[in-house]
Each structure stands twice: as C-alpha cells, then as structure tokens.
Structure 1
Amino acid sequence: MAEHNHSWSNAIFVDGQFRPPAAGGGTLAVHDKSSDEVLGVAGSAGIADVDAAVASSVIAQRAWAALPHSQRAAVLRRVAAALEHADGFRELIMRETGSIAGKADYEIASAVGELTEAASLASRPVGEVLQTGHEGRFSVSERVPVGLVGVITPWNFPLVLGMRVIAPALALGNAVLLKPSPETPVSGGLAIGELFERAGAPAGIFQVLPGGEEIGRRLVEHPDVAMIHFTGSTTVGREIARTAGSLLKKTSLELGGNNALIVLNDADIDQAAMIGAWSSFHYQGQTCISAGRHIVDRSVAEAYLRNLADRAAAITVGNPFRDGTGLGPIINNAQLKRAKGLLDEAVAGGARILTGGTSEGRFFRPTVVVDVHPAAALWTEEIFAPIAPVAVVDGADQAVALANDTRYGLVSSVVGTDVHRATEVARRLDCAMVHVNDATPQDEPLAPFGGTGHSGLGGRAGGDSNLEEFTERRWRTVTGSPVHYPY
C-alpha cells in the first residue's frame, strides 16, 4: 500500500477531485492500527478549504436539487456498484480501524444497502395536499432539501456511519461536506470520495475535508452550513449542540450509550451468554450499541457468568489478518488507558475480574467483571472496550429499574424463553431501541436508528425517518386569481 499508489495521498476531496490542501492545511499520517505501520499520508484541510468548499457546495446543491429524482438515484446506484467492486476497501477498513474481516465485510455490505435504499428514497412522495377553508385555494405541504449538510463521523464504523447520512441526504437533494475522524481519514472519507469520483457524481455535491477539531468547529459555525449531523461522544455532542443552538442551526446528534442486556430467569443460558459475548466484545466493544451492563437474574447468574467467562477466554486476540482472530487492537493508546483506568477503579472499589483484564500493547483481552459498585464509572459510563460488567438482581422488576437507572437511552436487549414475558419487560425499558432475544448491536437501513437522553438529540436515521431528518416542510398555496384585501 505504498503512498504514491493512492489518489488521496497528501490530498483532500473537493469539487469532484483530489487536490492538496490550501495554505493553512497540512497532512495526516494513516496508520495500520495493529502494526502501527504508516500506510500513507492524507491531506488535512485548513479553514480556507472549508470556506471554499462551502461556497462551491452551496452552488452545486441548487443544481443537484433541481435534477429529476431519477438522476440523483442513478448516481447513488453507481456509487453502490463502485463500492461493491472496489479493490482493497476491505483491507483498508481492517488496517485503518483494527477490525477483523467480518466487521469490514459488514461495513461494505451495509454501506451498499444504505446507498440502495437511499436511491429508492429519492422517488418517495415529498408532499401532501391539505384541506383549506379558502375557496379557490390549492394548499400543499411539501418537503424541500435542508441545503448543505455538514457531517462529522467517528472512527469505529467510518464507512457505514458516514454513508448512513451521506446517501439519504444526497438522495433528497442536499449537498454534503464530510469531516471524517483523524483516525480514519481514508476509509471514513477520502476513499468514499474515490467512489463518488468513479461514479461520475456532479462536482461539489459531496466533498471530504479531513482534519482536526478546528475543521469540525468551522463546519458547525459556518453560516452557510444549514445542518450538522454528528456521530460520536456525548461530551463533544453537547458542545456542538451548544454552538449550533446559539446559531439556530438544525442539528442531529447520535451519541454514546450505556446499554443494558437483561437475562431473565427462564433464559437459555448458552444462548444468553452467546448474545452477551457478542454484545460486549464485538469489534473490541468499540461501538455505541455495545452492551455495557449485563443485568442477570440471581437464579441463573452463576451459570451465566461461567458461560460468559468461558466464551471470553476462548476468543483469540491479535492481528486481524491472522486466521481465527476474533478481536483486534483498541484504536489508540488514549482509549486503552481510559479502559484500563475504568477497570482499575472498579476493582479498587470491590469488583472482581473473572477473566481477562490484561493486554499486550493495545491488544486487550475480553473481560468479565462482577460486583461492580453501582456508582463506579465502569457501570455508569460508556466503556468502548471489550469489558462486560455483570450485576445480579432478584426478578424482572429489579432488572428494569436498574436498566433504566442511566442518563443514556440508546438500546437494550432482553433474553428469555417466554417471548411474551420478555416483550413485556422490553416495553418497560426507557430507550429508543430494544431487542428481544438478540444482541444490542443491531442496525438496518430501514430501521429508525437513534437515541434519547444523553444518547442523542434530533431525529432518527433510516427508512422514512430520513425524510424528516434531511428535509424541511414548506407550506405552499396557489390561488387562481389575486385575492383582494381591505387595504
């Protein structure tokens, strides 16, 4: 993967092409997260690049929105085809995010699905005729594009979490400026630009501006960016909400989670432990929809803990390119330090580690821990590491109360053989998404994805929810001849 082989080397993607950043920009080293090998050097945008890109996007968006829906849909289908046949995208995701092949394959397939569904979104009805009390008046509520959407994405699922916003926003006639995480400037940004270039997308409707906090801040503050969509931590989301709110700017925030997995007393323990292991350890636990709290009925707790610990101990941790590897590295040293700190604090407060808790470099063993104090940060905060804290409760009522004792409201799961009972427990949970007899990490292009409380602000992504997310309602009336008024 020599640097000179990449169109994105030392470049940003603006006006339909790759070019070096303007004065004030710079570069970003692109690292293999398992080996720390430098894969190449991407461009890093400066403030001047943001301002120039905004100006060209505003012009391009008007022409893009005026196109027939079939032409917008055709562009998205060509991008989907380019992704399906893109050489090296799987390897790029694996290297840049430290994920195993299965996770990379999921990202690609899911991103293709997002593009395909968005292409169909372009032809959805965008208005409705309203009743009116005025004779001779035609009254309609119509949906119009928001305009220019600034998208700030995280490093954990950079391709699909970007495409989940990019594709529907474009389908509905908006333009998009994307700022990917500095950890994943290529798989989360510049390589997506290559797809749009290959698909012959009109210049300016989609642009990629890798960079640091100052680039994200400028996107949020720029008066011509009509909407900000941010996926990331609650701490940063709160800052964005504060700034965007003062500007009265439309904002959608998909933030963190402290998600509960409830195991009822009639659960099949082997199945429950399998669901629990996947919920907490999948992609090193580095997803907002990972299970950060396992809440287990006392009557089955011993068996569940034993099974979950056995599954954790059997997972191979190492280089994702080696056969049989189940987990790769933690994304960076800062995240590793935070995870260890959360675990050490919990142990100092009386928690017991049943398995794991160790690391070699950034390769962190999947960990099962019990007796965590309910006030410990390991229990109350998002973990973002392969750690499964388990609490034991007496009955479903206590389980529901403990699950709801959080500021977050993203996702929960309930496991039990009596589906009716498990569903009734699920209905009592205060979160935006809930799954019965399945893992917490779930996402589909047609499903309304999002959170409440500290897990999100704004609408939902997915299916018809995207119509609300990326359009504004406009009331329009037409009267056959001018209406006369007293003055």
Structure 2
Amino acid sequence: MTQVKTTGLTKEVDFLSFTKSYINGQWVEGASERKYNDLNPYDHSVIATISIATKAQLEEAYQAAKAAKDEWAANTQLRQDVLKNFIQYLQDQQEAIINTLVLETGSSVLKSQVELQLTIGLLEETLKIVDSLGKVKTVDPTMPDKVNHVYRSPLGVVSTIAPFNFPLYLSIRSIAPALALGNTVVHKPDIQAGLSSGSIIAKALEQSGIPAGVFNSLLTDIEEIGDSMLDHPDVKLISFTGSTAVGRHIGRIAGGSFKRVALELGGNSPFIVLKDADVDQAVKAAIFGKFLHSGQICMAINRFIVHEDVYDEFAKKFVAHASTLPYGNPQDPTTIVGPLINQVQLDKALKKIGKLKEAGADVLLEGQLVGNVLTPYVFGNVDNSSEIAQNELFAPIAILIKASSDDHAIELANDTEYGLSSAIFTTDLARGEELALRVEAGMTHINDQTVNDLPNIPFGGVKASGVGRYGNPWIIDEFTETKWVSVQEKERPFPF
C-alpha cells in the first residue's frame, strides 16, 4: 500500500511564491511566452507574476490524470488519509491562507475566515463518502430467483473550473468529492485568484501525500487553452461555477459529446419582506446578505422585494445601517466593504449605477468611489422588469422593489430567468414555508438571508442558475457511475 506522509508543518507558507502550475506531481513553469501580473485589487500592486501554462501542458495533465485514475480509485484508505492530511494542512496554515485570500482577491478578513472554515467543514463532510464506491445494494426482486445489485464506480477524469469570488471554497466543493469518490482531477482556477484557488490546494495535496497525476492545477486562461478542458476526450464530467453565459457554452459542448456537467451559475436572489415581518431583524440579515464580499457572491441578495406596508420602514433602516459599514483596505480586520476584483467589474458597477439613475430610481443612499473601493449604493422603487433588476449586480448596489401583496411579492421574485437562492421574512413560519415552495429557486431561507451553504444539503439552482446538486449525499450521484448487476440464481423460463 502507498505510504502517506503527514503534513508535519508548523512553519507558515508563503503561498504568493507558488506561481507555477502543478502537473503530474511536479511544480512546472508555464511554457507560454505570456505572463500574468496577479494584482492586489485594493491598490493594484503586483503580488505575483505568473507564467501562463499552455495547451500542451494541459494535455500532459490529462494524460497524467488518466494514468493515475485506476490505482487511486482502488485505494480507499489512501483517499481517506490524503483528505485527513488535507484538513490538517489547512488548519496548520490558516493565517497564511487568510492572508493570501485578502491580498489576492480583496476579501475582508472576516470573509476570508468564513471561507476557510467553510472549506474545512466541507472536507470533513467529504470524508464520509470516501467508502461509497463498490457498495452493493440489494434491490427487492421483481422476479423470482433474481438478485439485483447496484454498484457505484468513479467516472474517471474530471475537469473543475472555479471562479474568483470564493476561490478556495468553490474549488474544493468540486475537487474534494471528485477525489473522495475515486476520480482524478484537472483544475483551472480563475487566474485572478490562481494562488488562492489553485496553488494553495496543490501545495496542500502535495504535502498530504496525493500520488502524482491524481490532482493537477494549471495557471492558465481561455486565450491559451480555448475549450480544451471541455472537449477533451478523456474528460467525463465538467464541474463549473461561474456565469450563466459560460455555463450555456459549456452545456452546448458537453451535450454534443454526452459529457456530464455540474453547473452552478448566476443568480438573481430575491429577499422578500412580507407585511408581518420583523423589520429590524430583516434589515440585519439583508445587510449581511447584500454586502458580504461587496456583493460579489452568486447567492448575494440581488433584489429586495418589500411589501408596501413596511417598505418605508425597511428602506429607512436599511439605508441607515448600510451607511455605517466600514470600508477600505481589506487587510484592516474591521473592513466590511473592500474593492471589487478588477477595474472591469468596477466599471460595470458604475455603469449600472448610471442606468439606475437614468431610469429614475430613487437614490436612497449615494455611495462613492474611494480609490478602488465602491461604497454601498441603495436605490428604491426600482422596476422589477428593468435590465438592471433582471441581471446579477455582483457589486455593493442594493435595489428595492415594492410589492402590493404577498402573492405579488412571489410573482416578482419568480419574474427572472434565474433561480439560485432566495429568502422570505415573515413571523408566520407555516405561511413562510408554504410561500417558499412557490419560489422558483433551488433554495429558500425563511427569516434568514440568501448566502447560505452547508456540506450536507442539496446545494444548486433551477432555471438558468445551474444543473446538478452539491452536498452529501447528492454529490455522489453527480461524481459516480451507477451500474445495475442482476444475478439469475435459477433457470428462468421464457415464453418462446
């Protein structure tokens, strides 16, 4: 049996120095002539310079993953040991990981701490599914003398593609169950968060004793590799978290070659405040669900749909609270609102603000641009059918929409192509749950905000917000192949 080395590390690692790709158990310089300057979103200083990995290096990764898959799938104890060591490594390197998240992604210290703890919790839950392979389930026979068994086996090689906003957690959400269930992985982080989303994970797995080829992480971009992670013949599943537009593109390619997909896409999460809601508590939840990580979360509240009877009270208290949020350098542990990830996203946010003003929305809180930090904006009486309300904001911009009744609120909430997360505030819990079932979303939270994720719940969206479910045990279906084997124990008579 392969011997697994433990982390044995107490010294803090400088993850900003891990600017190479990790292929077949080796750290290799990207072979492209192109370089990428990894910038601190707060001050645009260069924190690392990365050599881009090429399409040829990506092919090396796939070949390595293919060669490693059978031995990895066959060794349950090894998979379990690696995951345990992985958890220990993250715990040992908490300070260095949080520092990397803050510097590379503009995350606040609070958000970075939350992300790391979510990641560790997910890995702990993933340990529970390591022995799910080869399990035999006897199905009640529908015919005499026939025994039915159901087997699970790994899919093989999996492509995982992660976004910049929760780079560590949203990478691990796909990587951990894929590895636990005996698959091998070729991973591409968003290069803006390549160290947080790729290098930290690769270093942790290397130290945890993962065999060469089982996990590969490439610091590259679409300009260099095109659709090679999607149409590669050895790829059995593509797990992607990101925009709906890219998700549609992946779906078209994967569908043509019958590859599986697990897609967590864009959101337009409604936060519904009914007339009987506890407004003070609703405001507290609303502020957190909107402004955590400056609104750069797929589950972040996108539309506040408020019953007209409590609209003015909610708006006044929400604005008062939003105006007090600390903003600035995310390295300051008191900061809540930090920078957006890059200038492109900032320009998009400013354009949306301009369109809201042009459309005549009430400016309830006029934010400001302080360096690279956009402070909270709040707009009232926004038209739910407008372009801005119908699309993901991904910025510290809150829009309030007035509903004339509970039914009208549900109608407004469902009037979108998206359906990821949602929330309802009401003091009538039974009524709240009844209305929750009418909201067209994969998740609805009563008397809470929309940014919730647990490793043992079915996380995912409907409509244009995605395909598939993460979380134990639902993720097992996504990352394994199910096979029925029947055994006819006595001769079966046939009619002809």
Deviation, 1:249, is 0.9
Q: 1:194-213 counterparts in 2 under 5 A?
A: 194-213=203-222
Residues 216 and 259 (structure 1 numbering): CA distance in 2 closer, same or farther, change over 3 Å?
Answer: farther
Stretches of structure 1 that go unaligned for 5 or more consecutive residues are none
- Residue of structure 1 in register with 2:315 after alignment: 305
Identity %: 35
1:402-441 superposed Cα distances (whole Å, 9 cap, x missing partner): 1111110111100112222222222211111000000100
* Aligned-partner Cα distance in 2 for 1:243–1:292: 30
TM-score normalized with structure 1 length:
0.94
* Aligned-partner Cα distance in 2 for 1:484–1:80: 55
Give the secondary structure class of the aligned counterpart of 2:193: coil
TM-score normalized with structure 2 length:
0.93
Q: 1:222-241 counterparts in 2 under 5 A?
A: 222-241=232-251
- Residue of structure 2 in register with 1:174 after alignment: 183
Q: 1:70-219 counterparts in 2 under 5 A?
A: 70-86=77-93, 87-124=95-132, 126-132=135-141, 137-213=146-222, 214-215=224-225, 217-219=227-229
Residues 115 and 246 (structure 1 numbering): CA distance in 2 closer, same or farther, change over 3 Å?
Answer: same
Q: 1:245-256 counterparts in 2 under 5 A?
A: 245-256=255-266
Deviation, 1:399, is 0.6
Match of 1:345 among 355, 362, 367: 355
| Counterpart residue type for residue 238 of structure 1 | R
Residues 26 and 483 (structure 1 numbering): CA distance in 2 closer, same or farther, change over 3 Å?
Answer: farther
Does residue 1:474 correspond to 2:487, yes or no?
no
| Counterpart residue type for residue 482 of structure 2 | R
* Aligned-partner Cα distance in 1 for 2:42–2:296: 15
Match of 2:418 among 408, 426, 429: 408
* Aligned-partner Cα distance in 2 for 1:26–1:478: 58
Q: Is the 8 A contact 2:296 2:395 kept in 1?
A: yes
Match of 1:271 among 278, 281, 285: 281
* Aligned-partner Cα distance in 2 for 1:168–1:89: 21
- Residue of structure 2 in register with 1:389 after alignment: 399
* Aligned-partner Cα distance in 1 for 2:431–2:148: 48
Q: Is the 8 A contact 1:313 1:356 kept in 2?
A: no
Give the secondary structure class of the aligned counterpart of 1:380: coil
Deviation, 1:451, is 0.4
Deviation, 1:374, is 2.8
- Residue of structure 2 in register with 1:62 after alignment: 70
- Residue of structure 1 in register with 2:37 after alignment: 29
Give the secondary structure class of the aligned counterpart of 2:277: coil
Match of 1:319 among 311, 325, 329: 329
| Counterpart residue type for residue 404 of structure 1 | N
* Aligned-partner Cα distance in 1 for 2:492–2:428: 65
* Aligned-partner Cα distance in 2 for 1:481–1:132: 13
Give the root-mean-square deviation of aligned CA atoms. 2.1
* Aligned-partner Cα distance in 1 for 2:459–2:484: 28
Q: 1:439-450 counterparts in 2 under 5 A?
A: 439-450=449-460
Give the secondary structure class of the aligned counterpart of 1:292: strand
* Aligned-partner Cα distance in 2 for 1:7–1:353: 41
| Counterpart residue type for residue 150 of structure 1 | S
Q: Is the 8 A contact 2:289 2:450 kept in 1?
A: yes
- Residue of structure 1 in register with 2:375 after alignment: 365
* Aligned-partner Cα distance in 2 for 1:192–1:261: 34
* Aligned-partner Cα distance in 1 for 2:200–2:226: 19
Deviation, 1:275, is 1.1
Deviation, 1:29, is 2.0
| Counterpart residue type for residue 248 of structure 2 | R
Deviation, 1:136, is 5.6
Q: Is the 8 A contact 2:15 2:100 kept in 1?
A: no
Deviation, 1:10, is 4.3
* Aligned-partner Cα distance in 2 for 1:429–1:112: 31
Deviation, 1:258, is 0.5
Q: Is the 8 A contact 2:15 2:195 kept in 1?
A: no
* Aligned-partner Cα distance in 2 for 1:440–1:486: 59
* Aligned-partner Cα distance in 2 for 1:344–1:297: 26
1:90-114 superposed Cα distances (whole Å, 9 cap, x missing partner): 1000111101111111111111111
| Counterpart residue type for residue 111 of structure 1 | T
* Aligned-partner Cα distance in 1 for 2:438–2:384: 21
* Aligned-partner Cα distance in 2 for 1:252–1:378: 27
- Residue of structure 1 in register with 2:344 after alignment: 334
Deviation, 1:37, is 1.7
* Aligned-partner Cα distance in 2 for 1:134–1:394: 58
| Counterpart residue type for residue 98 of structure 1 | G
Q: Is the 8 A contact 1:345 1:376 kept in 2?
A: no
Residues 5 and 236 (structure 1 numbering): CA distance in 2 closer, same or farther, change over 3 Å?
Answer: same
How many pairs align?
A: 481
* Aligned-partner Cα distance in 2 for 1:79–1:280: 32
| Counterpart residue type for residue 440 of structure 2 | D
Q: Is the 8 A contact 2:66 2:234 kept in 1?
A: yes
- Residue of structure 1 in register with 2:9 after alignment: none
Residues 191 and 311 (structure 1 numbering): CA distance in 2 closer, same or farther, change over 3 Å?
Answer: same
1:169-220 superposed Cα distances (whole Å, 9 cap, x missing partner): 1111001111000110000001110000111111111110121114361110
Q: Is the 8 A contact 1:8 1:18 kept in 2?
A: no
* Aligned-partner Cα distance in 1 for 2:50–2:136: 42
Residues 99 and 5 (structure 1 numbering): CA distance in 2 closer, same or farther, change over 3 Å?
Answer: closer
1:3-45 superposed Cα distances (whole Å, 9 cap, x missing partner): x9658544110112211134x4643322211121211223421
